[in-house]
């Protein structure tokens, strides 16, 4: 049953609970490098905590630059010396399909691990796994469609060809909020292209990554093709620095904050390294005068409160037409008050804790800043210590002004900030008044307005009358300071391949 713990395990010296499953072979305390399950060279470990209650879920190696160099060397050797570079697209596709099938068979166990280490409600964990697995399935198919070109030559004695070749070793740095999907979205594309990978998962949620690595190993990926480096926050800077600067690493793919992305971008500049960045957002959510209120409320709840608001494409600033403002606030308040808050292991829970103390403190500080400058809390706006130390109440705040952090910063928590507008131009001015441009949402039943606003909204992805826009088939990415490149879709391969021009001359 999902409603209670049935299996008790011991990790290190700490007794922890996990959901009942057929087996628990995916809860690991070592990491995969060069085909072997190893500890850190220094023998140190990092404890992974359950944000609901602070209990230890498991321990993973706390690796450093020495371990990272070994992983890079292993990935490079696997690419050049062990045949991965020369493996056919059909063979790579077959391995990805085997990985996908194993991920599907073991989705319940992975979901239990994810909920335990992230606090995410179990139904959301299962949903993320379905989403994440879809990337493995998608890129298993795309592996056989990485086509070249034959270009008409201007010279009768020459033939011109363009091929697409894997770049080499790809370093993948992933966040804690989607510990499954952010890895599969990157790794499946890189592996499909013919690259080998070194993955550094977030410090808060490495256990899900290790479960994915275990199943990749079981699928039959050769030694050194799939490598994982787990480490603490104190070791993360040196690990990241080496991944960015090593001449053996051909490209970096990073999902995380704009601030960290900017630092990685700078570090990669010295080697002119291929960079893919999916960074922070400040998503507008516009409700125009013609909007269907039911669609708008459903879209708001889907976009804002998934994973307790800890998503990069979460709606951040709600910009509502003055004629609908009171009705929207009343109906959204009723929906927020109906949310079930608690431990994500319970199947009826919709809102879990924030992932760590730093995240809780950030959300509190942003709300407190707004209140000190005149913002009005309609509902929430406080911690929920009776639920646990990292719980924050789903919150709605009005009277938002441009000098407030609620207006200018990505909240990354369960907080709705509402702004009233009169005209379309005013709404677009507010929506575009940010250096971030990842996602945006608007609700309108006016077809002319739909196309007009979609063209003028300065974001990489738009949900129109829809608050849930992610899919493996779609091109995911932003503009402005929200990133470089696209993930998913047929374009997800692009970060991991180079175009090579071949000129065949002296033909009779």
Question: Per-residue DSSP letters for 408-476?
Answer: HS---SSEEEEEEESSHHHHHHHHT-SSEESEEEEE-S-HHHHHHHHHH--SSEEEES-S----TTS-B
Query: Max Cα separation, the chain?
Result: 83
Name residue, tokens 């009776």: 386
Grouping H, G, I as helix, E, B as strand and the rest as coil, residue 323 is: coil
Q: Residue 4: which H helix or E strand, with range?
A: none
Is residue 497 within 8 A of residue 167, CB to CB? The reply is yes
Rounded CA-CA distance 346/343 in Å is: 6
Residue 128 among the catalytic residues: no
Write out the two tokens for 310: 């800890």
CB 267 within 8 A of CB 238: no
| CA dist 505 → 27, 87, 157, 207 (Å) | 57, 28, 6, 54
**Pick from 218, 274, 279: nearest CA to 243:** 274
User: What is the C-alpha separation between 478 and 393, in angstroms, rounded?
Assistant: 29
- DSSP annotation string for 184-246: HHHHHHHHHHT-EEEEE--TT-HHHHHHHHHHHHHHTPPTTTEEE----TTTHHHHHHHHHH-
Q: Which of 109, 124, 142, 278 is catalytic?
A: 278
Element holding 250 (H helix, E strand): strand 249-255
Token duo for residue 253: 């793919």
d(CA 489, CA 479): 17
Tokens of 311: 């998503």
- Give catalytic residues, as residue numbers: 278
């Amino acid at each position: 049953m999902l409603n209670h713990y049935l299996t008790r395990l011991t990790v290190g010296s700490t007794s922890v609970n996990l959901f009942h499953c057929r087996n628990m072979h995916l809860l690991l305390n070592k990491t995969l490098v060069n085909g072997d399950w190893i500890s850190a060279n220094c023998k140190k470990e990092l404890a992974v905590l359950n944000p609901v209650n602070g209990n230890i879920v498991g321990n993973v190696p706390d690796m450093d630059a020495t371990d990272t160099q070994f992983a890079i060397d292993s990935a490079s050797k696997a690419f050049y010396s062990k045949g991965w570079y020369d493996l056919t697209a059909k063979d790579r596709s077959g391995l990805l399909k085997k990985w996908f099938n194993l991920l599907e068979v073991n989705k319940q166990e992975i979901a239990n691990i994810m909920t335990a280490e992230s606090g995410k409600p179990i139904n959301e964990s299962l949903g993320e796994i379905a989403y994440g697995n879809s990337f493995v399935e998608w890129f298993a198919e795309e592996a056989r469609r990485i086509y070249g070109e034959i270009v008409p030559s201007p010279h009768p004695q020459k033939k011109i060809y363009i091929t697409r070749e894997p770049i080499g070793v790809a370093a993948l740095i992933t966040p804690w909020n989607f510990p499954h999907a952010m890895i599969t979205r990157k790794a499946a594309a890189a592996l499909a292209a013919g690259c080998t990978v070194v993955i550094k998962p977030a410090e808060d949620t490495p256990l899900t990554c290790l479960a994915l690595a275990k199943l990749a190993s079981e699928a039959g990926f050769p030694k050194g093709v799939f490598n994982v480096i787990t480490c603490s926050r104190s070791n993360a800077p040196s690990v990241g620095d080496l991944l960015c600067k090593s001449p053996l690493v051909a490209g970096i793919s990073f999902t995380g904050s704009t601030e960290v992305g900017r630092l990685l971008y700078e570090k990669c500049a010295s080697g002119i390294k291929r960079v893919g960045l999916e960074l922070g957002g400040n998503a507008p959510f516009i409700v125009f005068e013609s909007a269907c209120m039911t669609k708008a409320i459903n879209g708001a709840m889907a976009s804002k409160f998934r994973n307790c608001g800890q998503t990069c494409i979460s709606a951040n600033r709600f910009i509502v037409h003055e004629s609908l403002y009171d009705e929207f606030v009343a109906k959204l308040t009723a929906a927020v008050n109906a949310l079930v808050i608690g431990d994500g292991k319970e199947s009826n829970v919709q809102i879990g804790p924030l992932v760590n103390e730093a995240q809780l403190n950030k959300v509190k500080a942003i709300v407190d800043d707004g209140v000190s400058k005149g913002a009005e809390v309609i509902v929430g706006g406080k911690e929920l210590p009776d639920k646990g130390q990292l719980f924050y109440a789903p919150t709605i705040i009005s009277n938002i002004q441009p000098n407030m952090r609620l207006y200018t910063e990505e909240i990354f928590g369960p907080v709705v900030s509402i702004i009233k507008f009169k005209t379309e131009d005013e709404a677009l001015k507010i929506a575009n008044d940010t250096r971030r441009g990842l996602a945006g949402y608007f609700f309108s039943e006016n077809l002319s307005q739909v196309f007009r606003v979609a063209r003028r909204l300065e974001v990489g992805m738009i949900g129109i009358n829809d608050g849930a826009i992610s899919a493996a088939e779609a091109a995911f990415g932003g503009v402005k300071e929200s990133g470089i490149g696209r993930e998913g879709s047929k374009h997800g391969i692009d970060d991991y391949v180079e175009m090579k021009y071949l000129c065949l001359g002296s033909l009779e």
